[in-house]
Amino acid sequence: MSAQADHPTLLIPGPIEFDDAVLGSMGHPSESHVGPAFVNAFGEVLSMLRKLFITTDLKSQPFVISGSGTLGWDFVAANLVEKHDEVLVLHSGYFADSFATCLSVYGAVPTQLKAPVGSRPSLEEIEAELKQKSYKAITITHTDTSTGVLSDVKAVSELVHKVSPDTLVVVDGVCSVGCEEIRFDDWGIDVVVTASQKAIGVPAGLCIMMVSGRGIDRFKARKTPPSAYFASFANWLPIMQNYEAKKPSYFATPSPQLVRALQTSLNQILSVPLDYRFQKHKEVSQKVKKAVAALGLRQLADKPECQANGMTAIYLPEGVAASDLLPKLMAKGVVFAGGLHKEIATKYFRFGHMGVSVTNSDLGHIDKAIEALKSSLAEAGYKH
């Protein structure tokens, strides 16, 4: 029986449920961060990330750093823009506000293009805004985890390349990498920032990034040095290049156990065609969304094309409080998340469907969750 037996099923939009083998790698015996075995493993992880992000351009640069998704924003803010640089922040929920705050901490000047809750800025609005100022970068939250709103990264990136070609295309992929289609080269993306604990299926603790050759060139052409030390490409770029070339080097100690777990998970993810993985997440997402609709519940993201495939944010029915519903679900062994978007936090809840819970239907996580949702709502007095 696995050590995981009988724990409640975690179906929040990250951290997600982890595969036994991935958790097993977390207990990897101690090894030197500059020893050949670990250097080799880290090098493989970096090469595998190129596949995950679908980039074959050798100028693209993967990074894996102890931290979390948030730290990726610091990397962008401290390395890819300089003081007084204008940045257009597309807002589809909570996370754009935080990214914008992070950018201003380092002296960049964010302009947020906001959409109503449950929606995303339109291509027309984005085009108009891009023509207002000379933006050094645009940020897109691929899936905003507070609303479940999906952005059309491909279309936005195409638009940016057309109307404002010097603007770096920065994607917050914390809640999308590993479950939503991302074609780094084909879509002309410059940066994707993500974290380990969502659809990549590894315990929290890693900030993961892919930066284009153009992004690295922009960094190298800075007039001022990076404005952070730990979150500095200057410090990490040679280290990442060395690890990928299987050469030891040191700036700050990486986490062998987390990197080993990432190696295990990436091996699993890449053993199946990525398109199949994305398709599977779409199918399971549709199943969840149909069940939600059948229960007479409404999603925050109301247009199908802006609904994420890795999670669903759902309005609570009239008269049912999250503080009543979530414990009822918990009693049935299912953990959902409450609301996060400031304006409406108490009015909705979130169901995460990423990773093994989606790809391994034998686990029965999704069916169990849908059933638990139905019966918990009934217990809470909801009649449909």
Q: Does residue 93 bind a second copy (CB under 8 A)?
A: no
Among 80, 117, 153, 231, binds a second copy (CB under 8 A): 231
Of 200-229, binders to a second copy (CB under 8 A) are 203-205, 225-229
- Between 71 and 160, whose beta carbon lies closer to a second copy? 71
Phi, psi angles (nearest 5°) of residue 333: 80, 25
Query: At 157, is the secondary structure helix, strand, or coil?
Result: helix
Q: Does residue 232 bind a second copy (CB under 8 A)?
A: yes
Nearest alpha carbon to residue 47 among 257, 265, 243:
243
The token duo for 327 is: 């414990």
Among 254, 263, 339, 350, binds a second copy (CB under 8 A): 254
C-alpha atoms less than 13 angstroms from C-alpha of 211 in its C-beta half-sphere: 25
Pairing state between β 86-91 and 109-114? parallel
Q: Does residue 68 bind a second copy (CB under 8 A)?
A: yes
Of 360-379, binders to a second copy (CB under 8 A) are none
Q: Does residue 26 bind a second copy (CB under 8 A)?
A: yes
Pairing state between β 206-211 and 149-150? unpaired
Q: Does residue 45 bind ligand PLP (CB under 6 A)?
A: no
Question: Cβ 52 to a second copy, closest distance in Å?
Answer: 20
What does the alpha-carbon distance between residue 349 and residue 176 come to, in Å, rounded to a whole number? 19
N residues, the chain = 384
- Between 194 and 299, whose beta carbon lies closer to a second copy? 194
Determine contact, residues 336/292, Cβ cutoff 8 Å.
Answer: no
User: Which residues are within 8 A (CB) of 298 and not within 5 positions of it... i.e. 6 or more apart?
Assistant: 314, 315
Q: Does residue 174 bind ligand PLP (CB under 6 A)?
A: yes
Residue numbers at the binding site for a second copy (CB under 8 A): 3-4, 7, 10, 12, 14-18, 23-24, 26-35, 66-71, 73-74, 77-78, 101-102, 105-106, 195, 197, 203-205, 225-232, 250-258, 335, 337, 340
Residue numbers at the binding site for ligand PLP (CB under 6 A): 14, 68-70, 95, 141, 144-145, 172, 174-175, 195, 252-253
